[in-house]
A and B are shown apart, each in its own frame.
Chain A
C-alpha cells in the first residue's frame, strides 16, 4: 500500500470515485448512515464517532441551521416594533431581525456544511477502505493502531488540527463575513445599522467613482498610501543599509555600543515611543521649544497640523522607527557579500559611493527582494505609525479621511468610529487587491519564486 502511495505523491488508493462506483453494500450504506461500514468491520469507536457527528449535524440543521440559511438571502425584514400593551398600559418592544447576526450565523452555517461535506467524504472513503481490506482478508486497524498512526504517518493531522481551527474561526470566518459586508448597505447612511440588505456592487462603484465624494477621498488616500509605502520602504532600506555599512567598516570603534544605541529605540514598545514623539512634535512641544530657544524660529513649526508638513514628518518619523530595524536585519547579509567584489572594485579605483551603488545595492536587491516585498506590504498596512503619530490629521472639514490617513487607518476610522461598515469592507478588499498585484508582479520576476525548493 505504501509502495503505491509513494510512487504517486499523496495519492489515496481508496478514492471517493472508487468508493462510489466499486463500493459494496456496507460502503453504500455508509453514504447514508455515516460510520456504518466501520462498525460492521469492527472499528466500533471510529464508526460511532462518524455517526455521532452526523447526528449532531442533522440536529443542528433542524434546530437552527436551516433557518439561518433561509434568512440569508433577505437578511431579515422585520424591523423592531413598538406595540402598545393595553393591560399593562406601556409600550412593549417586539424584537425585530438583526441582519448582522443573520449574516454571521448564515456564513458560519455554510462553513459547517462545507466541513460536514469533508467529514462525509472521509467517512465514505474510510468505509470503502475497511471493506476492501476485509474482503481481501487483510488486517483492519483497530482503535489502538489508528491512534498510533496519528502520531506517525498522519502526524500532520494531529499537529495541524487545532492551529487550522484557530485560523478558520478567527481569520477566515471573520474575513469572509467582512467581505460579505462589502456587498450590503450596512452603514449609518440611511440608518441601516440594524436591518440591511444585499446591494450588489453598488459600494464598489461608489468607491471607485471619481465624481463621488467617497471616491475622490479613496483615490487621494490610495495615492498617498502608495507614496508613503514607496518612501517608507526604500528610504529605510537604503539608509539602514548605509548605517549598517558605516558601523561595520574597519575603522569604526565600539561597534557594539553603536548598534545598541540604535536597537534600543525599537526595543521600546512602538505605542510608547510614537506617542512620545508625537508629544515632542506638538506646537508647544520639545522640538519647537528647542528651536525657538536657539533663536531659529519665531513661531512654532506646524509639524503635525499642516498637510504637507505632516506628510513629510511621518515619513521622517518612520525613518526613526525603521532604520534600526533594517540595520539589524541586513547586518548579517551584508557580511555575506563576496569580499573579492570589493577588492576588485578597489583595484579599479572605485570610491565608496560607486562601490555602494554598483556592488552593495544590486547584490542586496537581488538577495532580499522577498524581504522588500514583505516590508512594502507591512508599510501599506502600517497602522501604528500613522494612527499614533497623527491619527490621520489634519482632516479637511466634512471629510472622513485625513491628509495623512493610509487605507488601513481610514478603514479603521470608517468601521470603528464612523460606522460606514460597507465602505470599510470595500476599502479592505481594494487594499488586498493592490497588495496582491504588487506582490505577484514582483515575486514572478525574482529568482526565489522560480525555485522555492532550491534552497532547501
Chain B
C-alpha cells in the first residue's frame, strides 16, 4: 500500500515536470519562430511599408511579382544571377583549396606543417574587415575593380582565404585510419593516388559540408561585396540588394519586397543548412574530441 502510494506520487511528479518542460519548450519555440513567421507574413502583405502587426490586414502576391519584374531600381533577377555565378566558382575553388590544405595538414608530414598551422591560428585572431580596404586597393592595382572583373574579384576574395579554414576537414581526415593509407602504399600507390582514391571517397560527409558552406558564403556576405562593388549596381549580389531595400529612401515602397526577397533566399539556404547540419555536428564533435 505504502509502496503503491509512493510510485503514484512519483508518477504525478514526473507528469507535472513533463508538462512544465513541454509548455516551456512551446513558449521558447514560439519566441524563436515569431520573427520567421513575421517575415513570411510580411512578404504576403498587401501594403509595401513595414507594418507592426503579425498578421497583415490584406494579402497579396504582388511583392513577389514586383521583386522579379520591377527591375528599374533593384534588378533582383540579375542580382540573383550574379550571386549564383559567383557562388558556383567560389564553391569549386574553395572546396579544392580547403580539402588539399586539410589533407596536407592531416596526412603529410613536412617542414612547414606546424608553422603553417600556427600562422593560420594567428591570422584568425585579426579582425577580418581590418584588411578589407587594403584588399580593395590590391584588386584595383591588378585591374579587377571595374566592370565584369568585379565578379572575378568577388570569387577571389571569397575563395582565396579558404586555405585557412581547414580545422573541421582536418579533424575529419584525422579520424580515417592510417592503416588504409599504408595498405595502399604497399600496393604501389603514390601519395596523390592515396588522396584521390582512398581519402576522398571515404570523406563524402566532409566534402558535402565544405561544398555547401562555400556555396552559401556569397549569399550571406554583404560587407565585402559592398566594399568591392561600390556603386556598380550591375554587379550587386542579392545580399547588397536586400540591404539597400532597407535604406531610408526605399524603405516605404520596398519593405514587403525585402521580406519577399528574404523568403526567396532563405528557403534554399535553410534547406541546404538543415541538410548539412548532420555533417556539421559530426565534424565538430569529431574535432573537439580529437
Give the interface of A toward B (CB within 8 A): 9-10, 100-101, 104-105, 148, 151-153, 155-156, 158-160, 162-164, 166-167, 169-175, 177-178, 243, 246-247, 249, 251-253, 258, 260-273, 275-277, 279-280, 284-286, 288-290, 320, 324, 328-329, 331-333, 336, 367-368, 370-371, 377, 381, 383, 407-408, 411-412, 415-416, 421, 424-425, 428, 431-432, 435-436, 439, 448, 454-456
Partner of B138 from A155, A173, A320 at Cβ < 8 Å? A173
What are the 10 tightest A-B residue pairs by CB atom distance, in nearest-first order? A455-B290, A163-B163, A174-B131, A174-B134, A166-B160, A428-B130, A170-B160, A332-B285, A267-B270, A267-B273
B222's nearest neighbour on chain A, judged by CB, is A271
Query: With A9-B109, A171-B161, A371-B288 known to touch, is A268 a contact of B222 (CB < 8 Å)?
Result: no
- Please state if B243 and A271 are interface contacts (CB–CB under 8 Å): yes
Complex alpha-carbon distance, A273 and B246, angstroms: 13
- Please state if B38 and A246 are interface contacts (CB–CB under 8 Å): no
- In whole Å, how far is B96's beta carbon from the nearest beta carbon of chain A? 8
> Which residues in A have their C-beta under 8 angstroms from that of B285?
329, 332-333
- Please state if A411 and B129 are interface contacts (CB–CB under 8 Å): yes
- Please state if B38 and A286 are interface contacts (CB–CB under 8 Å): yes
- Please state if B22 and A253 are interface contacts (CB–CB under 8 Å): yes
B46 within 8 A of A: no
> Which residues in B have their C-beta under 8 angstroms from that of A383?
127-129, 223
- Please state if B32 and A261 are interface contacts (CB–CB under 8 Å): yes
B239 within 8 A of A: yes
A268's nearest neighbour on chain B, judged by CB, is B266
- Please state if B266 and A177 are interface contacts (CB–CB under 8 Å): no
- Please state if B32 and A262 are interface contacts (CB–CB under 8 Å): yes
Query: With A152-B191, A170-B156 known to touch, is A268 a contact of B288 (CB < 8 Å)?
Result: no
- Please state if A269 and B220 are interface contacts (CB–CB under 8 Å): yes
- Please state if B131 and A175 are interface contacts (CB–CB under 8 Å): yes
Total cross-chain contacts (CB, 8 A): 258
- Please state if A153 and B123 are interface contacts (CB–CB under 8 Å): no
As a 0/1 sequence over residues 118 to 134 of chain B, the CB contacts with chain A under 8 angstroms (1 = contact) are 00001111111111111
B159 within 8 A of A: yes
B209 within 8 A of A: no
- Please state if B191 and A284 are interface contacts (CB–CB under 8 Å): no
- Please state if B125 and A272 are interface contacts (CB–CB under 8 Å): no
> Which residues in A have their C-beta under 8 angstroms from that of B131?
171, 174-175, 177-178
Complex alpha-carbon distance, A329 and B278, angstroms: 10
Query: With A155-B195, A267-B274 known to touch, is A160 a contact of B100 (CB < 8 Å)?
Result: yes
- Please state if A264 and B130 are interface contacts (CB–CB under 8 Å): no
Which residues of B, 187-234, contact A by the 8 Å Cβ criterion? 190-193, 195, 219-220, 222-223, 227
Which residues of B, 159-175, contact A by the 8 Å Cβ criterion? 159-164, 174
Which among A243, A271, A435 has the highest number of chain B CB atoms within 10 Å? A271
Given contacts A151-B191, A173-B138, A271-B222, 16 further A-B contacts (CB under 8 A): A101-B137, A166-B156, A166-B163, A167-B123, A177-B137, A252-B18, A261-B33, A268-B270, A271-B220, A272-B39, A275-B246, A288-B52, A329-B284, A428-B127, A431-B130, A455-B289
- Please state if B163 and A412 are interface contacts (CB–CB under 8 Å): no
Complex alpha-carbon distance, A152 and B110, angstroms: 13
B257 within 8 A of A: no
> Which residues in A have their C-beta under 8 angstroms from that of B109?
9-10
- Please state if B52 and A289 are interface contacts (CB–CB under 8 Å): yes
A317's nearest neighbour on chain B, judged by CB, is B35
B265 within 8 A of A: yes
B101 within 8 A of A: yes
Complex alpha-carbon distance, A261 and B274, angstroms: 11
Query: With A171-B161, A270-B220 known to touch, is A265 a contact of B127 (CB < 8 Å)?
Result: no
> Which residues in A have their C-beta under 8 angstroms from that of B25?
246-247, 252, 258
> Which residues in A have their C-beta under 8 angstroms from that of B137?
100-101, 104, 177
- Please state if B21 and A276 are interface contacts (CB–CB under 8 Å): no
- Please state if B104 and A456 are interface contacts (CB–CB under 8 Å): no
B97 within 8 A of A: yes
- Please state if B163 and A167 are interface contacts (CB–CB under 8 Å): yes
- In whole Å, how far is B19's beta carbon from the nearest beta carbon of chain A? 10
> Which residues in A have their C-beta under 8 angstroms from that of B60?
none
- Please state if B163 and A421 are interface contacts (CB–CB under 8 Å): no
Which residues of B, 97-120, contact A by the 8 Å Cβ criterion? 97, 100-101, 103-104, 108-111, 113, 116
> Which residues in A have their C-beta under 8 angstroms from that of B156?
166, 170
> Which residues in B have their C-beta under 8 angstroms from that of A381?
127-128
Query: With A9-B109, A425-B130 known to touch, is A271 a contact of B29 (CB < 8 Å)?
Result: no
A266's nearest neighbour on chain B, judged by CB, is B273
B255's nearest neighbour on chain A, judged by CB, is A279
Query: With A267-B273, A276-B38, A428-B130 known to touch, is A377 a contact of B125 (CB < 8 Å)?
Result: yes
Partner of B97 from A152, A163, A175, A271 at Cβ < 8 Å? A163
Complex alpha-carbon distance, A105 and B141, angstroms: 9
Which among B97, B104, B130, B135 has the highest number of chain A CB atoms within 10 Å? B130
B277 within 8 A of A: yes
> Which residues in A have their C-beta under 8 angstroms from that of B17?
251
Partner of A272 from B100, B128, B262 at Cβ < 8 Å? B262
